[in-house]
Each structure stands twice: as structure tokens, then as C-alpha cells.
Structure 1
């Protein structure tokens, strides 16, 4: 999988990628629902080369940026430069993450990563990482292909989601704050139905 994504990021400009957005308005709209903190640590399980990184840095957040593609991370580092507020990680998000990030994440933002995991063991691995990393009172924003969306992206089969399945997989430790159906228009003009779900981790008693 790492080779697959490295090939894509090596052979295409960012603006040619099927998931390219020239702004992060849709994601930032959901983040505005989260009570402000002086600083927040945000984790992106599949950062890619998204402009979301730039928008979050402009807001003063601490970022932990993960991707399965080291080519994407290299391109991202070149664009944003050295920054004390950024840590880069090269992990398969379906496999265990380092213990050092356990309960340190204020906000977990996934735009179109989870839906590439097909095996149940990989999906469970993803959610195990999420549950371990997000602190009590933290938030998770998932944005995945909806059940009415395309069956493939980047040449790969997808596991498409309803808000009901998202909520079920998030489990009893999280409560749904807001969800929304969203039509993303890709660079070639194609429409891609998404479902966005914002969840809050229930404070430990």
C-alpha cells in the first residue's frame, strides 16, 4: 500500500489528485463547533499533501501528521518548511501507533482515510488507535465516502459509510455532536457524496 500511494504522489501534482481541495472550508466549519482552546494538538491519520495542514497551522495548532506515503510527507514538509508545531509520522494507521501519543490528541481529523480499510481487522486496528490516542473530552471528525458514493477511489475498493455505522464503530465512549451529508466536487468535475460525523469523547468520571 505504501508503494501504491508513493506512486500516486510521485506522478501527480497536488491539483491533479482526485481528492484535491483548494480550501479547507468544509472541515473548518465542523472545527468551529469545538470549544476553543489556546492551543490544541490535532492528529491527521492521513495528512497527504492537503491544504488543511496550512489552515490548521495558521490557527496556531500543534499538528501530528501521519501518512502511509513517505513521498507525500516529503512533499508536505517541503511546502510548509521546518516548523516546531509539526511532527511527522510514517505509519500504517491500521497498525498500532507509538505509545507516546496515547491520550494526547485533542482533535482527530480523518478526511477520506478510513474508507480505504477493507479488512475487519484493519478497521478495528484503526479504531483501537483512535480510542487510545484521543484524550477524554477530545473530538473526532470523520469524513468518508457515503453509501451512495463511488465504489472506488485511486484505483482501490472502498468501504463506504453511513452515519449509523460510524456511530456504532465509534462506540459508547463517544457521542455524536453533528453529522452532515456533503457533495464533494473533484478537480475533474465529478461529484462524490460524503458523510461527515463529529464526535466527542465522553469525559472520564
Structure 2
């Protein structure tokens, strides 16, 4: 039985250059700044949920991080990152899965998600995400999450999204996670468009 979500994202990465999609960043500046604020040792564990072809993992490898995992539903997206990283690929755990059905087998110090959660437009999808998040974190783990802001796009890559301000994200996660910081970011797309993102940093109680 085919998975429509997996087929959709596989097709995106098969038919579009990784640096042409709207969410592309030459350098993942907001993510790196958020991670730097945590002042964690390079032995800390980090998972990039929906990391796909993002260069965040490259930058963390350059900084000496030793325990990195990248999860994405689209194998072609991960293949792009693996090709780019060459000899460093074996140092990273690569997981091809849908986060809403994935069951983490370990816990991470940092859970990073730039632009996955806002695709979960149904309550049961968000509940499944939170289950994975709680399984994959422990007390004091940090969650860095970015979604489209209320004045961001209503759709992305042909799919509807759920937009959030900080209060709405707190409402989604506050039963287990405490908000530490929030900010807005204006993202410039490769075609020169402007998209507003809402960022939050949570810490598990």
C-alpha cells in the first residue's frame, strides 16, 4: 500500500533542485543561533526532524558534533544530504520515516524541527507528533521548533499548513514542555519572496 505523503515528498525532491524549494536556506542561521544559545557540548545528541536536504547537519559536523540524527519522510531528500557530506555520512544516523508514525528508540538532548509541525493540520496528526516527541526526549531536553507565523503562507509545496503564533505553540506543547524563548523570523525564499516564521524554544519539564 502506497503512502500519499511519502509519494508527495519523494516527488518534490525528485523534480526540484534542493536549492530551489521555498524553504531552502544557504545557511541555517536561525537554527544555528538557537543551538548556540544552548551552550551544549558537542557530545550532546540532536535530531533534526524533517531535516531532509538541509545543510544544518553539515554545519554541526563542521562544529564537531558527534551524535546527530536526521529524520525525513523523503528518501531522496536524505540522499542529497548524504551525497553532499561524502565521507562524513557514516557518522550520522539517517531515518526515513513519517514522524507521526515513527517510534523513537532513544532520547535526544535536542529536538529540532524547522517546518514540519505546521504541515500537521489534523488534531490526530499533532497528537501523534507529540507522542513521538515525548518518547524521543527526557527531562531537560530542548525542543527548537519553527512554523509559519499567522501572517505566513497558507500553503506550502501544494499542501495546506497550520499557522501559529507563540501562544498557539505553547498551547500545543505546554502540558510537558515549558517555553524558554520565542521570536519571529522573516525568511527570504530563493525566488525573493518573504515568509514569516514563528520560532520557539521549549524545555521538557
Q: Cα distance, 1:171 vs. partner?
A: 2.2
Q: Cα distance, 1:75 vs. partner?
A: 1.6
Equivalence for 2:183: 180
Q: Does the CA-based 8 Å contact 1:95-1:122 persist in structure 2?
A: no
1:12-45 Cα offsets, whole Å, 9 max, x none, are 1111111110001111111122132241111111
- How many residues are aligned here? 199
1:73 aligns with 2:83: no
Q: Secondary structure at the match of 1:33?
A: helix
Q: Does the CA-based 8 Å contact 2:103-2:135 persist in structure 1?
A: no
Q: Does the CA-based 8 Å contact 1:144-1:194 persist in structure 2?
A: yes
Q: Secondary structure at the match of 1:175?
A: strand
1:162-198 Cα offsets, whole Å, 9 max, x none, are 1111112112322111100111010001000110001
CA distance, structure 2, for counterparts of residue 7 and residue 38 of structure 1: 35
Q: Secondary structure at the match of 1:125?
A: helix
1:92 aligns with 2:98: yes
Q: Cα distance, 1:84 vs. partner?
A: 4.1
Q: TM-score, normalised by structure 1?
A: 0.93
Equivalence for 1:194: 197
CA distance, structure 1, for counterparts of residue 78 and residue 35 of structure 2: 23
Q: Does the CA-based 8 Å contact 2:55-2:81 persist in structure 1?
A: no
Q: What is the aligned-residue RMSD (CA, Å)?
A: 1.3
CA distance, structure 1, for counterparts of residue 27 and residue 90 of structure 2: 23
Query: What stretches of structure 1 of length at least 5 have no aligned partner?
Result: none
CA distance, structure 1, for counterparts of residue 40 and residue 77 of structure 2: 30
Equivalence for 1:59: 63
Q: Does the CA-based 8 Å contact 2:45-2:68 persist in structure 1?
A: yes
Q: Cα distance, 1:154 vs. partner?
A: 0.4
Q: Secondary structure at the match of 2:162?
A: coil
Runs ≥4 residues deviating over 4 A: none
1:14 aligns with 2:18: yes
